């Protein structure tokens, strides 16, 4: 087992000083051509690679970024993650992931662990519990410590930092409007408890579209399902007690389950009932019939988030160059039409 070789070994072997080796490897003009070549040849021969940890300690920069997400087995988050990872890698950064499991405590613990030198900045989406508690002290502290933070998707106006979101309200309004345009009159909304920021905004957009079009909102058509979805919660009963001709769902699972119940009740899709779901994931694509979905372009979101973060991390190196103000990027959504709807062509 050949141990890793260090500058010190090379120096001793070649009978020069550590500083000379270090400079020679960086091609410093301070070192003679002869010595440089000798050192570089030796280094290559023994496959010398500098120790990342030592460099991090010296530079106070790790080239690691911390990503904290509520769940990893979740199509949207993994999509964002892929965007982050690709962009970060291209700029020479590695990604450390922690999963909060929607728990406030795990979020705090994980962040504190990483904040002590392991990373140069954070990218995260708030856990459900954090949004419920509205406790953001751990995030505010980052600011005081000078650790950059980018929030995506699940954000809060309580903390000042860069953000990347979609315009949930506009997206929901657009989708609802498209259903209205296609002739639907009674549109239901399947959503979650409203402490989730995104759900609240989507509901607002849904309401707005109905009001603007003069159809008005019937609160009986809005049903709120628990965040941790249980199969029985969404039952056929609702389909039989209420009349509606379209459904907007704040996520894929709700939509898929709802479609299945409709099929069991022999309702025609999209004729009798149309369905649109948020988040264009695997389920939407492979459902039968295919589910019309609002694509959030997670990969693009991740790319932008990583770019904002790394830019800020690297700007901080230039001491006292004043930092740009915090930005909020809005990633445009798009509506992917499939068989669960029969929409008129878009006006745009």
Partner DNA sequence: GGAGATCACGAAAACGTTTTCGTGTTAATA
Partner DNA sequence: TATTAACACGAAAACGTTTTCGTGATCTCC
Q: Please check whether residue 289 is in contact with residue 271, taking contact to mean a CB–CB distance below 8 angstroms.
A: no
Query: Residue 334 binds which entry of DNA, a copy of itself, none, with Cβ cut-offs from 5 to 8 Å by kind?
Result: none
22 belongs to the binding site for DNA (CB under 7 A):
yes
Q: Please check whether residue 67 is in contact with residue 125, taking contact to mean a CB–CB distance below 8 angstroms.
A: no
From candidates 17, 220, 328, 346, binder to DNA by CB under 7 A:
17
**Residues from 138 through 157 that contact a copy of itself (CB under 8 A):** 143-146
Least distance from a copy of itself to the Cβ atom of residue 100, Å:
11
56 belongs to the binding site for a copy of itself (CB under 8 A):
yes
Three-class DSSP category at 313: helix
Least distance from a copy of itself to the Cβ atom of residue 62, Å:
7
From candidates 68, 107, 110, 244, binder to a copy of itself by CB under 8 A:
110
Q: How far apart are CA 250 and CA 13, in angstroms?
A: 65
Residue with tokens 């099929």: 263
Least distance from DNA to the Cβ atom of residue 37, Å:
10
Q: How far apart are CA 189 and CA 255, in angstroms?
A: 10
Least distance from a copy of itself to the Cβ atom of residue 77, Å:
9
Cis peptide bond prior to 289, omega within 30° of 0: yes
From candidates 13, 27, 54, 242, binder to DNA by CB under 7 A:
54
Q: How far apart are CA 141 and CA 21, in angstroms?
A: 41
Least distance from DNA to the Cβ atom of residue 47, Å:
11
Q: Please check whether residue 310 is in contact with residue 88, taking contact to mean a CB–CB distance below 8 angstroms.
A: yes
Phi and psi torsions of 71, nearest 5°: -160, 140
For the beta carbon of residue 111, count every other beta carbon within 10 angstroms. 23
Residue environment code for 330-346, b if the CB has 16+ CB neighbours within 10 A, otherwise e: ebebebbbbebbebeee
Least distance from DNA to the Cβ atom of residue 24, Å:
7
Q: Please check whether residue 298 is in contact with residue 80, taking contact to mean a CB–CB distance below 8 angstroms.
A: yes
Segment interacting with a copy of itself, rule: CB under 8 A, options 7-15, 35-43, 66-74, 156-164: 66-74
Query: Residue 235 binds which entry of DNA, a copy of itself, none, with Cβ cut-offs from 5 to 8 Å by kind?
Result: none
From candidates 12, 13, 27, 30, binder to DNA by CB under 7 A:
30
Which residues contribute to the site for a copy of itself (CB under 8 A)? 1-4, 49-54, 56-57, 62, 64, 72-75, 78-79, 81-82, 85-86, 89, 94-99, 110, 112-118, 143-146, 253, 256-257, 259-260, 263, 282-283, 286-288
């Amino acid at each position: 087992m050949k141990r890793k070789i260090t500058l010190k070994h090379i120096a001793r072997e070649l009978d020069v000083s550590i500083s000379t080796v270090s400079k020679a490897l960086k091609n410093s003009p301070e070192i003679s051509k002869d010595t440089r070549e000798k050192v570089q040849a030796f280094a290559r021969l023994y496959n010398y690679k500098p120790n990342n940890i030592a460099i991090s300690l010296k530079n106070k920069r790790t080239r690691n970024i911390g990503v904290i997400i509520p769940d990893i087995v979740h199509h949207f988050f993994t999509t964002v993650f892929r965007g982050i990872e690709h962009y970060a890698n291209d700029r020479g950064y590695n990604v450390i992931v922690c999963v909060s499991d929607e728990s406030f405590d795990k979020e705090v613990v994980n962040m504190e662990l990483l904040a002590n030198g392991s990373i140069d900045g954070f990218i995260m989406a708030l856990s459900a519990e954090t949004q419920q508690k509205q406790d953001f002290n751990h995030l505010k502290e980052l600011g005081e410590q000078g650790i950059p933070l980018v929030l995506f998707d699940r954000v809060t106006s309580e903390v000042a930092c860069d953000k990347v979101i979609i315009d949930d309200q506009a997206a929901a309004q657009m989708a609802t409007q498209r259903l209205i345009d296609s002739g639907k009159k009674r549109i239901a909304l399947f959503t979650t408890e409203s402490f989730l920021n995104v759900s609240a905004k989507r509901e607002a957009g849904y309401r707005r579209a109905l009001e603007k079009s003069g159809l008005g909102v019937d609160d009986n058509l809005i049903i709120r399902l628990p965040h941790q979805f249980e199969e029985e919660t969404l039952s056929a009963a609702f389909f039989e007690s209420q009349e509606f001709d379209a459904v907007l769902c704040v996520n894929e699972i709700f939509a898929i389950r709802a479609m299945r119940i409709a099929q069991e009740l022999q309702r025609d899709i999209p004729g009798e009932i149309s369905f649109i779901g948020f988040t264009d994931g695997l389920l939407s694509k492979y459902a039968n019939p295919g589910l019309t979905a609002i694509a959030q372009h997670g990969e693009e979101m991740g790319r932008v988030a990583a770019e904002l973060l790394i830019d800020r991390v690297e700007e901080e190196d230039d001491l006292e160059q004043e930092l740009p103000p915090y930005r909020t990027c809005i990633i445009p959504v798009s509506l992917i039409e499939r068989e669960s709807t029969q929409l008129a062509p878009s006006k745009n």
